[in-house]
Structure 1
Amino acid sequence: MINTYRTADEADRDKAQLVELFEALHASPSVLRRNDDGLWTQRGRPGCYISTWGNGKGWQLVVAPEDEISPLQWTWFKKRLPFCEVTQDGDSEGCFRLSRLPTAAEAEVIRDIIGIRKRMDLSAEAQAERTARLPRRGTG
């Protein structure tokens, strides 16, 4: 894995900024990870992800699905993200810039377009029940 960052502190700041968006998106914990270049991202469906914009104030939404979408579907994605600035506009893929944290409704749209799963909200009782069903170490 290549390291995109100059320092560990730079990587930590980038991750912290992504965590802020991660919380606003109410995203599943599995989406936050480093890519092959060592860059912190929130990964969605193949070819779609979110990274920081690089200025410490915004995020980049990359929509370039491996299972190509139609130009019409791309047009609808742009219409559904009016709160983002289109920075790359291809025929059926592109990039957006998000300059602020999204509202709950906007977060739902972002999760849908990027393909990010929503975090499950479990009550303390449900979490305890789920943990109790896990196999214990050292038992058959």
Structure 2
Amino acid sequence: MSALNVLLLCGNLSYAGAQRQMFELAKGLNRRHNVIACSIGSKNSLLQEFIKNEILVEVLNLRVRNFIQILVLLSSIIKKNKIEVIYSFLDTANYFARLIKLFLPYIKIVVSERSSNNKTSIRNKFFEKVFSKRTDLYIANSYAGQL
């Protein structure tokens, strides 16, 4: 089996549950695959852990309101590293992963759903309805996160 080029995408690399899961997954995947961890935001307290474990990291250091710039930078990272799979963690990263698939339809999208209860707004319901078909695989972190 040839190595996959995988992008692990998260809103930030703070010391929180999803980010720790992403870090542990990156360590395991990095043994056989080419892994890049990508943080959209600026809270990056876990950054040194990734570097210490020889996991490539891209930090965009942007706010969500710069969404066009984020999409352009993510597309550039994906093309430059020949990414085949994006595994996203938490809502912000999940949204960007699905949006990227509009422009790069060959990318496989894996979305990690959490037990958060923030999918009740009209905007979030609309986004889920429209873009859920762009997801190749959902992984529920808990029963509450299942669709």
Q: What is the TM-score normalised by the length of structure 1?
A: 0.30
Greater Rg by CA: 1
Greater helix content? 2
TM-score by length of 2: 0.29
